[in-house]
Amino acid sequence: MIKRIFDIAFSIFTIVVTLPVTIPIAIIIKLTDGGKIFFIQKRPGLNGKEFNLYKFKTMYENNDKILKEFLEKNSQAKEEWQKYRKLKTYDPRVTPIGRFLRKTSLDELPQFINVLKGDMSVVGPRPYIMSEFEEYNIPKEIVNKLLSVKPGVTGLWQVSSRNEATFEERINQDLEYIENKSFLYDLKIILKTIKVMITGKGAY
């Protein structure tokens, strides 16, 4: 109950305080791309119940096609994608404003709407995609454990290694968080998140 009350209070505070930033971001995205402002994707939440995750859109509309064609022509990038589920050197799907948003993690601000709705928590495991578990053959018992708590806007892996970690390392860090979760632990991660956002370390 304490965690939920904190989630609501922190989210309302963050949404209000960041309005001078989020409004211009939304306008720039609309003017430069002309499409949707938000990226919305189904993700498994608590106990596997699906919800719509919100982010500021950082990719072009036809990003799946762009990625497929790019990986077919670049074996090194394909290997990097399979290992990290990220493209560190260059990602052709990302728009110019999107690169800035990802570097500063500002693209994730709309997720505080998810927190208010009760789909997510401020701190928790990464909001995974079910197909990722299947692709990496993650055992069912580990998947169930990852889904035993609400996913978070930030978490241990984001402040420890961020996108420099492999997919398996991210899972291990999320499991470590679940094993040691507490209100004070959450506060510690939030403080570290602020530092990571300022430095931009590990963001792609």
146-196-99 Cα angle (round to 5): 90
Does any domain span residue 155? Answer: yes
State how far the Cα of 155 lies from the Cα of 4, in Å rounded to an integer. 16
More reliable by pLDDT, 186 or 32: 186
- Is the pLDDT at 1 greater than 90? The verdict is no
CA 7 to mean position of chain CA atoms: 17
Does any domain span residue 86? Answer: no
Which band of pLDDT confidence, cut at 50, 70 and 90, is reported for residue 37?
very high
Which band of pLDDT confidence, cut at 50, 70 and 90, is reported for residue 20?
very high
Does any domain span residue 166? Answer: yes
Residues 151-176 have a mean pLDDT of 86
User: DSSP of 136-147, one letter per residue?
Assistant: TT--HHHHHHHT
> What separation in angstroms does the CA of 103 have from each of 30, 107, 145, 193, 199?
19, 9, 30, 13, 9
Residues 70-124 have pLDDT tens digits of: 888 888 888 888 777 778 778 888 888 998 998 888 999 999 999 999 999 999 9
State how far the Cα of 166 lies from the Cα of 194, in Å rounded to an integer. 22
- Is the pLDDT at 30 greater than 70? The verdict is yes
Does any domain span residue 69? Answer: no
Strand-pairing partners, residue 43, are 51
What pLDDT, on a 0 to 100 scale, did the predictor assign at position 204?
A: 47
Contact between residue 170 and residue 126 where contact means Cβ atoms under 8 Å apart: yes
Does any domain span residue 195? Answer: yes
Measured over all CA atoms, what is the biggest interatomic distance in the chain, rounded to whole angstroms?
A: 51
In the chain, the number of structural domains is: 1
Does any domain span residue 88? Answer: no
Structural domain range at position 169: 2-59+94-199
**Phi, psi at residue 37, to the nearest 5°?**
-85, -35
What pLDDT, on a 0 to 100 scale, did the predictor assign at position 203?
A: 53
